[in-house]
Structure 1
Amino acid sequence: MLLEGKKGLVLNVTNQNSIGWGIVQALHAQGATIGIGAQNERTLPKVEKLIEGMDRIDTFVCDFTSDDDLKKLRDQVHQKYGKIDFYVHSAAFANKEDLEGRFIDTSRAGFALALDISAYSLVASCKALEDLFVDDASIVTISYIGSTRAAGNYNIMGVAKAALESAVRYLAVDLGERGIRVNTMSPGPINTVSARGVKGLLDMLKLMEERTPLKRPYGQDECGLSAVYLCSDLSKGVTGQILFIDSGYNFQGF
């Protein structure tokens, strides 16, 4: 198995339909020991229910907006695992009113919130966990093509994803001296709880299936397999890159 003996984190997992959960399942199937995060104590029971009966898996609480929480997480992970081989960052949020309508109407508070949770959280968590990464560790985050295109009903989240992708490149430079790789996965639209906040999601999903080169749906499974590649030694020479998982949508002209 590609990840046998490897230990790492997937932060955070929301529910069984989330991209993070698809990634957890794929990494676990390849032998990894995984710590998964819940946003707070209220959501922790949902996450714990997901992993009932599974071995090699633990839960943590991680509020990305709290430096104290990140320090506490770091100490808990160190006590449980010592060092870690991979970290998958799966966190994004924006107020619904900042996704719809005109981007120019984004509030100052809404802008700051989206950038904090969706982009700075990667930087802050990598800093908190930095001394726990083994040399040659892999860090993966999740973006969307709205980072480089003005996607309808995406608005502030597109700006946040652009910041996230830029942060990946700078982190890849900072951590590259230790052989640590930092990469981005960029799936197309997937029917997750977070994505349902984007108006017109079902129309987008239908369009993707009809008009992309592969003409078939994709989702958690494809994201999970791509995460296995990026977290394993198969991608040992890859850093600072964006891996699209969208049946070819990203290079088409429509």
Structure 2
Amino acid sequence: MTGALLRGKKGLVIGIANEHSIAYGCAHVFREMGATLALTYLNSDSYPYVKPLAERLDAPLLLACDFRIPGQLEAVFEKIKNTWGELDFVLHSVAYAPREDLHARVTDCSKEGFSTAMDLSCHSFIRIAKQSEPLMKKGGCLLAVSFYGAEKVVKHYNLMGPVKAALESTVRYLAIELASQNIRVHALSPGPIKTRAASGLDRFDELMEMVKKRVPNHKLVTIEEVGSLAAFLVSDAAKSLTGNIEYIDGGYHTLG
């Protein structure tokens, strides 16, 4: 799919780990639609995987961004400010919980693990909104990535269920608070996709097979399909939409 839906727009994509990442699928469509992109990588270990993708996407900015390192997110936005002076959209596709807490019952998760998961998976989106606001002078769009486990109990999703529920609530509050600046806020809620982050979930392969059997078309969503929805939402064609949890799961969320 190619076109000019996002021609002239500048976007920041946070959360690419490799070519299988949801963030990369979105970035790929953003670029095909004409956007100019800034990308981030987590650390020196991830850099060799992200750099070739940045080159493939003709991204002029590739910046380090680890939410755990004080000042690093702010440095990303400072670089964008000095280079572009403005920003049209941001995709936040980051989620993390310590493995021992992620694999435990919510009842048994530690205070430290809960705090870490909430900080890196949810509060980081609030930090992004705060940094984005002064750069979105003509309005813009902020996207987070959620999952159906925020709404209903999904086996083995555990701690990430409450964390994603908080993220979805945050999306709604930010949407209202930033509406006067014409900044729109949404959460994408894809069906299960085999990404590096998802591989940390216990029995994730079983979840994918179960969803594939239940959805009417018996297919799992792809990162490119998520990207197509994301591109529409950040475009001017969606300027009347905000505060939504946008499902892209083949209808799975409608099934009882």
TM-score (norm 2): 0.95
Mapped to 2, the partners of 1:66 and 1:170 lie a distance apart of 26
SS of the aligned residue for 1:134 comes to coil
Greater than 4 Å deviation, 4+ residue runs:
none
Provide the aligned length of Structure 1 versus Structure 2.
Answer: 253
Root-mean-square deviation (CA, aligned residues, Å) is 1.3
Q: Which residue of 2 aligns with 1:113?
A: 116
SS of the aligned residue for 1:138 comes to strand
- Kindly indicate whether residue 167 of structure 2 is the aligned counterpart of residue 161 of structure 1: no
Once the two structures are overlaid, the 10-residue window that deviates more, 51-60 or 27-36, is 51-60
| Contact 2:28 2:57 survives alignment (8 Å) | no
Q: Which residue of 1 aligns with 2:197?
A: 194
- Kindly indicate whether residue 5 of structure 2 is the aligned counterpart of residue 17 of structure 1: no
Give % identity.
Answer: 37
Query: What is the Cα deviation at residue 79 of structure 1?
Result: 1.3
SS of the aligned residue for 2:75 comes to helix
Mapped to 2, the partners of 1:6 and 1:246 lie a distance apart of 27
Mapped to 2, the partners of 1:214 and 1:78 lie a distance apart of 44
Q: Which residue of 2 aligns with 1:245?
A: 248
Q: Which residue of 2 aligns with 1:206?
A: 209
- Kindly indicate whether residue 221 of structure 2 is the aligned counterpart of residue 218 of structure 1: yes
Cα distance change on mapping 1:223 and 1:162 into 2, 3 Å: same
| Contact 1:93 1:118 survives alignment (8 Å) | yes
Query: What is the Cα deviation at residue 105 of structure 1?
Result: 0.6
SS of the aligned residue for 1:24 comes to helix
Query: What is the Cα deviation at residue 224 of structure 1?
Result: 0.6
Query: What is the Cα deviation at residue 40 of structure 1?
Result: 2.2
| Contact 2:14 2:93 survives alignment (8 Å) | yes
Letter in 1 for 2:89: F
Within a 5 Å distance, the mapping from 1:119-198 to structure 2 comes to 119-198=122-201
Query: What is the Cα deviation at residue 102 of structure 1?
Result: 1.7
Mapped to 1, the partners of 2:59 and 2:228 lie a distance apart of 19
Mapped to 1, the partners of 2:219 and 2:107 lie a distance apart of 35
- Kindly indicate whether residue 43 of structure 2 is the aligned counterpart of residue 40 of structure 1: yes
Q: List gaps (5 residues or longer) in structure 1.
A: none
Letter in 1 for 2:164: K
Q: List gaps (5 residues or longer) in structure 2.
A: none
Q: Which residue of 1 aligns with 2:91?
A: 88
